[in-house]
């Protein structure tokens, strides 16, 4: 199994500490409650593209500052069905305590992959964290794709899968809000291997939360293959595990990661807020991505980084 190692880049305005050889880094030297300079924005964005999920410690943000930080990376996404914070439709309240029967994010998934244009990224800010437990695990879908056999890659690259969300509310007992964003629960068909629009790397794009079936396969074939891929995502070598502290922030790229919030802290409190950034329609390009995985691709100017919103 060879996922390769991430190369360390030079940064002028932030510090970046990689956490594994495959995924994840901690960023320091920046107050994200304040508008980022052009250089700092570029460096944070470059680090996110390289490490797929980045973490910040000791941050203090109001709701408006949280939204402002997110908007520097794109237009904010409104969740299609989960209750949002009154007066702040772009913000999800994340909270668990001694009265919780279930928690958000429990189980491997990519946020709202059932949308026709799923979110580009999510920014979770936790203000109150358990003394012990409550970590979030992240899995690199670049690494998951690259670890597949050549024959499996070829097979999956020709397939698409259906993503939906209504079943989650029936299965897990979550209460959707009365005014669904689109008037109904979203569902979409996406390629099982997607090409990242910035890095041009290929990533596995199915998850046990939202992916229901593979288009064109018989039911048993679809279930068997999906179960194999869901298990593949759980491979430890693809992972980074983040231990939260009060006032920490995680910013992950939904196009190339999945995450799983551990619920091992009951009845302690874990509480904060999440904003999510709108994305674009997943696509697959057969173009070889070897250049994207080389050191020459670590600076993103050659990969169509859009101008800052």
Provide the pLDDT for residue 5.
Answer: 63
Find the mean pLDDT for residues 215-233: 98
Higher-scoring residue by pLDDT: 304, 171: 171
Q: List for the chain the helix, strand, coil content (%; round to 5).
A: 20, 25, 55
Higher-scoring residue by pLDDT: 51, 116: 51
147 three-state secondary structure: coil
Confidence of residue 302 (pLDDT cuts 50, 70, 90): very low
- What are the C-alpha distances in Å from 296 to residues 15, 199, 290? 21, 11, 10
| Residue 187 is among the residues annotated as catalytic for this protein | no
Provide the pLDDT for residue 2.
Answer: 44
Cα gap 121→111, rounded to integer Å: 8
Provide the pLDDT for residue 306.
Answer: 42
Cα gap 116→139, rounded to integer Å: 22
Do residues 234 and 108 touch, judged by C-beta distance below 8 A? yes
Q: Which of 109, 201, 239, 293 is catalytic?
A: 109
Q: Which of 163, 190, 200, 274 is catalytic?
A: 274
- What are the C-alpha distances in Å from 282 to residues 33, 92, 128, 277? 31, 24, 34, 15
| Residue 274 is among the residues annotated as catalytic for this protein | yes
Q: Of 194, 188, 193, give the one whose Cα is nearest residue 163.
A: 188
The pLDDT tens digits for 5-63 are 666 678 999 999 999 999 999 999 999 999 999 999 999 999 999 999 999 999 999 99
| Residue 253 is among the residues annotated as catalytic for this protein | no
Find the mean pLDDT for residues 185-194: 91
| Residue 182 is among the residues annotated as catalytic for this protein | no
Provide the pLDDT for residue 299.
Answer: 44
**CATH fit for domain 15-289, picks 3.30.365.10, 3.60.130.10, 3.60.40.10, 3.40.50.300:** 3.60.130.10
Say yes or no to pLDDT of 177 above 90.
no
Find the mean pLDDT for residues 128-145: 97
Confidence of residue 300 (pLDDT cuts 50, 70, 90): very low
Cα gap 216→117, rounded to integer Å: 22
Find the mean pLDDT for residues 65-77: 96
Provide the pLDDT for residue 131.
Answer: 94
Provide the pLDDT for residue 39.
Answer: 96
Provide the pLDDT for residue 197.
Answer: 97
Q: What angle do CA 80, 82, 88 make, to 5 degrees?
A: 85
Q: Which of 259, 270, 278, 293 is catalytic?
A: 259
Domain boundaries along the sequence of the chain: 15-289
Do residues 190 and 163 touch, judged by C-beta distance below 8 A? yes
Q: Quote the percentage of the chain above a pLDDT of 70.
A: 83
Q: How far does CA 68 lie from the centroid of its chain? A: 19
Provide the pLDDT for residue 77.
Answer: 86
Find the mean pLDDT for residues 260-289: 92
The pLDDT tens digits for 227-271 are 999 999 999 999 999 999 999 999 999 999 999 999 999 999 999
Do residues 238 and 229 touch, judged by C-beta distance below 8 A? no
């Amino acid at each position: 199994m060879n996922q390769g190692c991430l190369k360390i880049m030079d940064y002028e305005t932030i510090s970046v500490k990689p956490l594994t050889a495959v995924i994840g880094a901690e960023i320091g030297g920046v107050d994200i409650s304040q508008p980022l300079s052009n250089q700092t924005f570029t460096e944070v964005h470059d680090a996110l593209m390289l490490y797929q999920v980045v973490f910040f410690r000791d941050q203090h943000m109001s709701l408006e500052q949280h939204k402002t930080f997110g908007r520097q990376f794109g237009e904010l996404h409104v969740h299609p069905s989960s209750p949002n914070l009154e007066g702040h439709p772009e913000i999800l309240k994340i909270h668990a305590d001694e009265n919780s029967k279930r928690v958000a994010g429990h189980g491997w998934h990519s946020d709202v992959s059932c949308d026709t244009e799923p979110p580009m990224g999510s920014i979770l800010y936790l203000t109150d964290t358990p003394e012990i437990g409550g970590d979030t695990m992240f899995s690199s879908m670049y690494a998951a794709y690259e670890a597949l056999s050549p024959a499996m890659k070829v097979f999956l690259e020709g397939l698409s899968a259906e993503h939906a969300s209504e079943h989650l509310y029936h299965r897990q007992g979550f209460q959707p809000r009365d005014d669904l964003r689109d008037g109904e629960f979203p569902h979409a068909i996406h390629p099982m291997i997607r090409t990242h629009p910035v890095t041009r790397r290929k990533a596995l794009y199915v998850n046990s939360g939202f992916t229901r079936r593979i288009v064109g396969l018989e039911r048993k074939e679809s279930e068997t293959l999906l179960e194999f891929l869901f298990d593949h995502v759980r491979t430890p070598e693809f992972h980074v595990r983040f231990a939260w502290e009060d006032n920490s922030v995680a910013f992950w790229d939904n196009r190339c990661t999945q995450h799983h919030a551990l619920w091992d802290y009951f009845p302690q409190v874990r509480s904060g807020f999440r904003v999510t950034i709108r994305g674009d329609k997943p696509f697959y390009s057969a173009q070889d991505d070897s250049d994207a995985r080389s050191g020459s691709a670590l600076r993103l100017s050659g990969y169509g980084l859009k101008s800052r919103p």
